[in-house]
Amino acid sequence: PLARRLSSPHPSSSSSSQPLPATTEDASDDALFLRLEALGYKVGQGLVERFSRDRPRMVETLDVIKFVCKDLWMICWRKQVDNLKTNHRGVYVLTDNSFRPLSKMSTEPGGNGVLRAQPYLWFPCGVLRGALANMGIEATVHAECTELPGAVFKIETAQKAPLV
Amino acid sequence: MSTTKHARIGEEVWKSRVDKVNAELVTLTYGSIVQQLCKDLEGDYTEVNKQLDKMGYNIGLRLIEDFLAKTNMGRCNGFRDTAESIAKIGFKIFLNITPTVTNWSADNKSFSLVFEENPLADFVELPDDGRAQNELWYSNILCGVLRGALEMVQMQVEAHFASDVLRGNDSTEMRVELIRIIDDELPPGDE
């Protein structure tokens, strides 16, 4: 994908410039995930710093999550989250039925669209995590695309998440 | 085409046919990329400039298609016309800015774009290491975009920044030079 080409490590920094064998696909996906996620993290931090400035302090975790679903989503993706679910134990599931970065992707049958859309969710994951972090909530964020152009983000906050 | 016509097209396309995105999101995303590059390349700013240019080039190769589809433009009437189109239509519809075209060379083959505003560089400060001010061209991705986009319409150009307010210069100026018109051949490195 475009994301990979634009973010692939510079040849001079890694010794192998030939294409990676298929077996390392997972490993390079992980590296790519970390990289895009980290870029998003900084963006999330910056956005929150700028756009939460003139608001009253958000005390409850749920207030912060609502800010993310409404304001932050609006800033980044020009709409609000369609659905928010929580188990009241620190896990929040945000569903966007038409996630903007995926809105123009091909849904051609057999095109593996859902799988190929996945990398485009990594940067937004980082944005969310960075935004939450700057509002005092440590969390892990995972995203999944089950049907284009929808996306589901699962936020697990650190403080209350039960150990599995 | 007269220059006011360019401005009118740019304005109209920007208003009606362009998906907008939050400016801060763009600024922060670009900043985050440059910051990461500086870290990855361990402060080798010459290499950072090169990488930014390359990323821009890859964007430009694709962006020209979007430009043509949105503007429905035909062939430019000479390089001066091209320059006006870039400034008043291209920059307008993709970044909502209109750099000034100026400093034409006598042979009409090179010109400057002077940026009064640059959304990429909002809230930016260069690293305070005594070198970035002399070596890093923060917005260098734009040079690559022009190079890539123009190559797809048979113009090989060389583009580089000549000054940048981030470095403490009075203005931000990009120099664009037409190297040659590419005759019916496939662009090298086309993917």
Q: Kindly report, residue by residue over A94-118, the tens digit of the pLDDT.
A: 999 999 999 988 888 888 888 889 9
**Cross-chain Cβ contact A42/B51 below 8 Å:** no
- Give percent above pLDDT 90 in chain B: 92
Asked if A142 reaches chain B (Cβ–Cβ under 8 Å), the answer is: no
Q: With contacts defined as CB-CB under 8 Å, which chain A residues touch B32?
A: 39-40, 42-43, 46
Cα A8 versus chain centre, distance: 19
Minimum-distance CB partner of A76 among B25, B36, B40: B25
**Cross-chain Cβ contact A75/B36 below 8 Å:** no
Is B20 within 8 Å of B102 (Cβ atoms)?
Answer: no
**Cross-chain Cβ contact B31/A46 below 8 Å:** yes
Asked if B43 reaches chain A (Cβ–Cβ under 8 Å), the answer is: no
Distance CA A136, CA A110 (A): 43
Minimum-distance CB partner of A42 among B24, B32, B55: B32
**Cross-chain Cβ contact A10/B28 below 8 Å:** no
pLDDT in tens, B177-188: 999 998 876 666
pLDDT in tens, B3-39: 789 999 999 999 999 999 999 999 999 999 999 999 9
* Nearest partner of B146 among B52, B75, B78, judged by Cα: B52
Asked if A33 reaches chain B (Cβ–Cβ under 8 Å), the answer is: no
Residue A3: band (very low, low, confident or very high) from pLDDT cuts 50, 70, 90? low
Mean pLDDT for the stretch of residues A56-82:
94
Minimum-distance CB partner of B28 among A12, A38, A46: A46
Please determine, for residue B165, whether its predicted confidence score (pLDDT) is greater than 80. Answer: yes
Asked if B51 reaches chain A (Cβ–Cβ under 8 Å), the answer is: yes
Q: How far does A12 lie from chain B, in Å, by closest CA?
A: 9
Q: With contacts defined as CB-CB under 8 Å, which chain B residues touch A40?
A: 32
Please determine, for residue B107, whether its predicted confidence score (pLDDT) is greater than 70. Answer: yes
Interface test with A, best of B24, B26, B32, B33 (most A CBs within 10 A): B32
Asked if A3 reaches chain B (Cβ–Cβ under 8 Å), the answer is: no
Mean pLDDT for the stretch of residues B101-130:
96
pLDDT in tens, B31-67: 999 999 999 999 999 999 999 999 999 999 999 999 9
Asked if A161 reaches chain B (Cβ–Cβ under 8 Å), the answer is: no
**Cross-chain Cβ contact A39/B41 below 8 Å:** no
**How buried is residue B65: exposed, middle or buried, by Cβ count under 10 Å (0-12/13-18/19+)?**
exposed
Please determine, for residue B191, whether its predicted confidence score (pLDDT) is greater than 60. Answer: no
Q: How far does B15 lie from chain A, in Å, by closest CA?
A: 17
Please determine, for residue B150, whether its predicted confidence score (pLDDT) is greater than 80. Answer: yes
Mean pLDDT for the stretch of residues A26-30:
79
Minimum-distance CB partner of B55 among A6, A13, A51: A6
Residue A30 has, within 13 A of its CA and on its CB side, a CA count of 4
**Cross-chain Cβ contact A6/B58 below 8 Å:** yes
Which listed CATH number (3.90.1170.50, 2.102.10.10, 3.30.1380.20, 3.40.50.300) goes with B3-181? 3.30.1380.20
pLDDT of residue A113: 87
Domain ranges of chain B: 3-181
Q: Give the torsion through C-alpha atoms of B15, B17, B21, B27, to 10 deg.
A: -80
Asked if A85 reaches chain B (Cβ–Cβ under 8 Å), the answer is: no
DSSP string, B52-104: HHHHHHHHHHHHHHHHHHHH-----SSHHHHHHIIIIIIHHHHHS--PEEE--
Q: How far does A85 lie from chain B, in Å, by closest CA?
A: 26
Residue A159 has, within 13 A of its CA and on its CB side, a CA count of 8
ipTM of the complex: 0.85
Range from A5-19, A45-59, A148-162 carrying the lowest mean pLDDT: A5-19
- Which residues partner with A153 through β-bridges? A94, A143
**Cross-chain Cβ contact B41/A10 below 8 Å:** yes
Query: In chain A, at which residue ranges do the beta strands (DSSP E only) sit?
Result: 83-86, 91-96, 139-144, 151-157
Residue B138 has, within 13 A of its CA and on its CB side, a CA count of 26
